[in-house]
């Protein structure tokens, strides 16, 4: 659990920078290092959650994830096109949405709510693992592992997009299209990782509680997106792009889980005077 907590804290601090220096160089340097730290922590969390042999699976999944567009079918390309259209539409309303949350006098300010906006992601991951432990549910542990993998892959791809886009945050500039200027606004790390974890929660398990799972998973993710807008930390299109990236990554991670099946299981069983931890691994 310490891996998960450390990762969420790093993501929570990912954007805790406000420009007051006349140049952007210090901001860019600190922003890149903070984003890199969050990415490293997220990558470290996935192997911690699974068995030792899972490291090879994580490496394989990472390779397949970043080369996935080479294997996309018609449905994948339609989803990609729909995401681009949604981001483009959201971009048209970036100004008006920012003005809805902050006045002109507050445009250069930002509330310090980064840790608050990391709470939904942390709650979903820790809640999944706690429930799996409570009910001795091996499928729950596997679901938690997929959450961590989806979150880690999303953190990596989000970091790469941030570095490539270099977009300034709404609390740093009044220009909606201030790209390639050393910023780290596009896409939102909080939103992308929370949507990745929330999608796994929403679409896993049996259909009996699907409505509840979707309400929690997508509800927490949407609340995170709202919080980022309310804090004046991101443009609307940043959150839409983060949501699209997180959902797509979660779909990839769940597809990989279905392809491989469950290869490991951890259970906690109560015994007289304490509890016993049982571990099983399916060897191929």
Q: What's residue 103's pLDDT?
A: 73
String of DSSP letters for 229-255: HHTT-S-HHHHHHHHHHHHHHHHHHHH
Q: Residue 277 phi/psi, 5° resolution? A: -95, 120
Q: In b/e form, how buried is each residue of 197-212, taking b as 16+ CB within 10 angstroms? A: bbbbbbbbbeeeeeee
Q: What's residue 191's pLDDT?
A: 98
Tokens, residue 132:
């799996």
- Cα 112 to Cα 103, 166, 252, 253: the distances in Å are 17, 21, 33, 32
Polymer length of the chain: 284
pLDDT at 185 over 60: yes
3-state helix, strand, coil in the chain (%, to 5): 70, 5, 25
Q: Please report, to the nearest 10 degrees, the dihedral formed by the alpha carbons of residues 215, 200, 89, 109 taken in order.
A: 80
Q: What is the mean pLDDT of residues 58-70?
A: 89
Is the pTM higher than 0.85?
A: no
User: What is the Cα–Cα distance from 136 to 134, expressed in whole angstroms?
Assistant: 6
110-148 residue pLDDT tens: 666 889 999 999 999 999 999 999 998 889 999 999 999
- CA angle, 181 as apex, 248 and 108 as ends, to 5°? 90
How many C-beta neighbours within 10 Å does residue 126 have? 15
Q: Cis bond leading into 187, ω under 30°?
A: yes
User: Cβ(170)–Cβ(106) under 8 Å?
Assistant: no
Q: What is the mean pLDDT of residues 180-206?
A: 96
User: Cβ(233)–Cβ(110) under 8 Å?
Assistant: yes
Tokens, residue 35:
């984003």
If one counts the domains in the chain, the total is: 1
Q: What's residue 35's pLDDT?
A: 47
**142 is in which domain, residue-wise?**
2-281
């Amino acid at each position: 659990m310490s891996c998960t907590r450390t990762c969420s804290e790093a993501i929570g601090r990912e954007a805790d920078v406000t420009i007051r220096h006349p140049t952007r160089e210090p901001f860019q340097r600190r922003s890149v290092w903070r984003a890199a730290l969050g990415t490293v922590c997220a990558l470290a969390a996935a192997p911690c959650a699974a068995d030792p042999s899972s490291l090879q699976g994580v490496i394989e999944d990472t390779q397949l994830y970043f080369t996935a567009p080479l294997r996309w079918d018609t449905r994948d390309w339609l989803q990609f096109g729909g995401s681009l259209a949604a981001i483009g539409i959201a971009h048209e309303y970036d100004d008006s949405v920012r003005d809805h949350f902050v006045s002109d006098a507050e445009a250069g300010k930002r509330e310090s709510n980064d840790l608050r906006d990391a709470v939904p992601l942390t709650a979903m991951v820790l809640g999944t693992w706690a429930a799996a432990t409570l009910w001795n549910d091996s499928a729950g542990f596997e679901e938690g592992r997929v959450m961590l993998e989806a979150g880690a892959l999303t953190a990596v791809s989000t970091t790469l997009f941030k570095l490539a886009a270099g977009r300034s945050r709404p609390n740093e500039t009044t220009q909606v299209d201030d790209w390639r200027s050393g910023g780290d606004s596009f896409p939102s790390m909080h939103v992308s990782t929370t949507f990745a974890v929330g999608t796994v929660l929403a679409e896993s398990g049996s259909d009996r509680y699907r409505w509840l799972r979707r309400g929690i998973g997508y509800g927490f993710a949407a609340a995170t997106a709202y919080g980022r807008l309310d804090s004046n930390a991101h443009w609307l299109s940043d959150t839409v792009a983060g949501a699209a990236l997180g959902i797509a990554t979660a779909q990839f991670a769940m597809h990989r889980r279905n392809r491989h099946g469950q290869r490991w299981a951890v259970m906690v069983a109560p015994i007289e005077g304490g509890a016993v931890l049982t571990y099983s691994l399916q060897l191929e």
